[in-house]
Structure 1
Amino acid sequence: MSTLKIALQKSGRLSEDSLSLLKKCGFSIETESGELKASVANFPLEILFLRNSDIPQYLMDGVADLAIIGQNLLAEKEFPIETIMPLGFSKCRVAVAVPKAFSFTSISDLNGLRIATSYPETTRRYFKSQNVRIELHQISGSVEIAPNIDLADAIVDIVSSGNTLAKNNLKEVAVILESEAVLAVSPKIKLNSKIILERFLFRLQSVLRASQSKYLMMNVPNTKIQEISELLPVLKSATVVPLSLEGWSSFQTVINETAFWDVIDKLKASGAQDILVCPIEKIAL
């Protein structure tokens, strides 16, 4: 029987979030600490735990059929690897940062200066597009310390909250690209693996839809049902159940969480009462 092989970062926050997502999809993952491969008891899926920077090559070679990986790494490698969907976690950006004392007005201020980075190709492309000449120093790990030890005048690195930059007396001055975890597929995935992939994607999409949605219930006057229906984007049609209180109904639907906050005042103004918002585990369409 064919098995779908998915590559994950072997350690770190991206690995933890990826495993959490797979478990929410109902995959029973059998793994022990330090293992580089894990099987799934209830689905033809095998998990490969790899060094993050090696994952694009494994996809290119067809060793892995899929991977959960950061967009920033795919951009750095520039391999012809298709991205199936964004996953909504591990959001960050590749940014240029300089010492706080640096008087920065534009990216041209870095012309001729030393830039330290773990993303040399991304950095080269960006500064070339800006017509800025740089002296590039490729290093791995602890990029933020480079200006403090006079290895570089500025850096290009991954930024999430910005706390690490602040701790190293640096400030962000330009964003090269935005990134998040994505599901990527090997260009060499076999036909029988593609069949399993469809089943895998159905589970994944059901969980991702649910994470972005909420189940909404409220009591509304019958005379306002149509008005409230027009305020809310719904999957297909809202459920309306008559209450024992004459002239009132329970109005139930599924909405995007952000949509609720956009219309809450309008719902109340239209007479909605006892508004209840509940989480959803999965949505299968």
Structure 2
Amino acid sequence: MSKLKIAIQKSGRLKDDSLALLKQCGISVDNGRDQLKVSANNFPLEIFFLRNSDIPQYIEDGVVDLGIVGENLLYEIDSELDVLRSLNFSKCRVSIAVPKNSKFTDIKDFEGKKIATSYPNTTQKFFKSNGVNTEVHAISGSVEIAPNIGLSDAICDIVSTGNTLFNNGLKELFVIMKSQAVLVKQPKPSREVNSLIEQLNFRIGAVLRAKTSKYILMNVPNANIQKVSALLPVLKSPTVLPLAEEGWSSLHSVIDEDDFWNVIDQLKEAGAEGILVAPIEKIIE
């Protein structure tokens, strides 16, 4: 029987978030310290722990079938790998940052300046698209110290919270792109492997949908059920259960978390009472 092979980053936040996602998908993994490959206990899956920059090549060569990487990496290497879905974690942005006391304000101010970065291709594409010639210095690690030691006038790096920039006396000036973790697959999986990919992708979809949704239940006058239901369009139809008090029902549905506070007043105006909101573990569609 074939096993699905997936590559994830061998250390760091992306690794932790990837393993957490697999666990939420019901996949049990005994991840021993410093192991480069482990097998799942309850799903035909092998996990390869690789350097982030190596994952796309392993997928292209068919050594692994799937990989979890950042969108920014795929952009940097001009990858044409098939992205199955965005995973809504490890969010960051690739930005140009300069010293806080810098007088840089416009993109044209960077003409002829030195830019230190771990993403030279991304940096060059950004400035070239804006008609600006810069001197790009490709370095690995601790990019943020480059301006302080005179190596560069600015940097291009990934930014999550901005704390690292602040602590090194830098400010974010331009955002080149926003990025998050994505699931990518090899170009030509076998039929059996592709079936396993679809199974895993289905599970991931159920988990991700649940993270952005809430289970909502409320008491509603029967005459207002249709009006209230129109405010909760997530599922095909709400569940309606009669209450002991005549003329009233309990309405159960799902709502996008981002929409809840936007419609709560409308629900109350429509006659909803005793509104309860609860988290959802999975949504199977």
**TM-score, scaled relative to structure 2:** 0.98
Alignment correspondent of 1:65: 65
Work out whether residues 80 and 187 of structure 1, in 8 Å CA contact, stay in contact via their aligned partners in 2. Answer: no
What SS does the aligned partner of 1:177 have? Answer: strand
Amino acid at match of 2:214: K
Q: Match of 1:203?
A: 203
| Pairing 1:55–2:55 present | yes
- Tell me if 1:253 matches 2:240: no
Q: Secondary structure at the match of 1:29?
A: coil
Aligned match of 2:5: 5
Return the offset for 1:235: 1.1
Q: What is the match of residue 83 of structure 2?
A: 83
1:281 aligns with 2:281: yes
Task: Verify the 8 A CA contact 2:115 2:136 in the aligned structure 1.
Answer: yes
CA distance, structure 2, for counterparts of residue 190 and residue 137 of structure 1: 42
Quote the residue 2:18 is aligned against: 18
- In the alignment, what sits opposite 1:271? 271
Would you say 1:166 and 2:166 are equivalent positions?
A: yes
Q: Which amino acid aligns with 2:152?
A: A
Please state whether the residue corresponding to 2:216 is helix, strand or coil.
strand
Structure 2 counterpart SS, 1:232: coil
- What secondary structure is seen at the aligned counterpart in 2 of 1:62? coil
Distance across 2 between alignment mates of 1:275 and 1:22: 33
RMSD between aligned residues: 0.9
Deviation at 1:40, TM superposition (A): 0.6
Alignment partner of 2:84: what SS? strand
Is there any run of 5+ residues in structure 2 with no aligned partner, and where?
none
How far residue 58 of structure 1 moved from its aligned partner, in angstroms, is 0.7
* 1:46-97 superposed Cα distances (whole Å, 9 cap, x missing partner): 0000011111111111111100110000111112211110000011010000
Kindly, what percent of the aligned residue pairs are identical? 60
| Aligned amino acid, residue 30 of structure 2 | E
1:221-262 residue CA offsets vs partner (Å, 9 max, x unmatched): 112111111111131110111111122111100121112121
Tell me the equivalent position of 2:225.
225
- Cα distance in 1, alignment partners of residues 220 and 184 from structure 2: 45
Is 2:217–2:277's contact at 8 Å kept on the other side of the alignment?
yes
Partner Cα distance (2:127, 2:188) in 1: 33
**Aligned AA (1:160):** S
Q: Secondary structure at the match of 1:30?
A: coil
Q: Is the 8 A contact 1:239 1:253 kept in 2?
A: yes
Partner secondary structure for residue 205 of structure 1: helix
1:194 aligns with 2:181: no
Counterpart amino acid of residue 255 in structure 1 = I
TM superposition shift of 1:140: 0.5
Q: Write the letter of the residue equivalent to 1:114.
A: K
Residues of 2 paired with 1:123 and 1:189: CA distance?
33
What is the aligned partner in structure 2 of residue 240 from structure 1? 240
Structure 1 window deviating more from structure 2 (115-124 vs 224-233): it is: 224-233
Count residues in correspondence.
Answer: 285
Q: Which residue of 1 aligns with 2:92?
A: 92
Query: Would you say the 8 A contact 1:87–1:183 is kept in 2?
Result: yes
The alpha carbon displacement at 1:191 in A equals 2.6
Note the residue ranges of structure 1 that are not aligned, 5 or more in a row: none
TM-superposed CA distance for 1:129, in Å, is 0.5
Cα offset, 1:24, TM superposition = 0.4
Once the two structures are TM-superposed, the CA of residue 272 in structure 1 deviates from its matched residue by 1.0
1:162-200 deviation line (CA, Å, top 9, x unaligned): 111111111111111110000011124233211111111
Q: TM-score, normalised by structure 1?
A: 0.98
Q: Is the 8 A contact 2:93 2:160 kept in 1?
A: yes
Contact 1:99 1:170 in 2 (8 A): yes
